[in-house]
Amino acid sequence: MAMQTHNGSCHCGAVRYSVEIDLDAPAITCNCSMCGRSGAILQFVTPDKFTLEKGQDNLTDYQFNKHVIHHVFCRVCGIKSFARGVARDGSATAAINTRCLDDIDLARLNVTPFDGKSR
């Protein structure tokens, strides 16, 4: 599968977005204190591949540790469907919680554990 446009949202739909993403590319499950508790399955895209369709005013920002990732979540339902941040090379990135994409078969994702707890 190549890059395709998928839609995603929080649980209540107050936050909706579209993202151009290759779901055959590796995704990660991170064991850091944030991801481990939220159960996110993440893939990363450049910001030009991500479009917030609605809900900017419903997003709340949370940062911790090195403060390089904006863990945004819906202030209505509390779901973190994506994050914004800085990659290791210093470039901007969007972290997509693939669990929040519409009509995705999670069992087909190529998921790799990532040890964020040790970083």
- CATH number for the domain including 91? 2.170.150.70
Contact, 92 vs 86, CB < 8 A? yes
Whether pLDDT at 117 is above 90: no
User: For residue 41, is it within any domain?
Assistant: yes
Whether pLDDT at 1 is above 70: no
**Structural domain of residue 21, as residue ranges?**
4-114
User: For residue 119, is it within any domain?
Assistant: no
User: For residue 35, is it within any domain?
Assistant: yes
User: For residue 18, is it within any domain?
Assistant: yes
Mean pLDDT (the chain, rounded):
93
User: For residue 25, is it within any domain?
Assistant: yes
User: For residue 44, is it within any domain?
Assistant: yes
Whether pLDDT at 65 is above 90: no
Total structural domains within the chain = 1
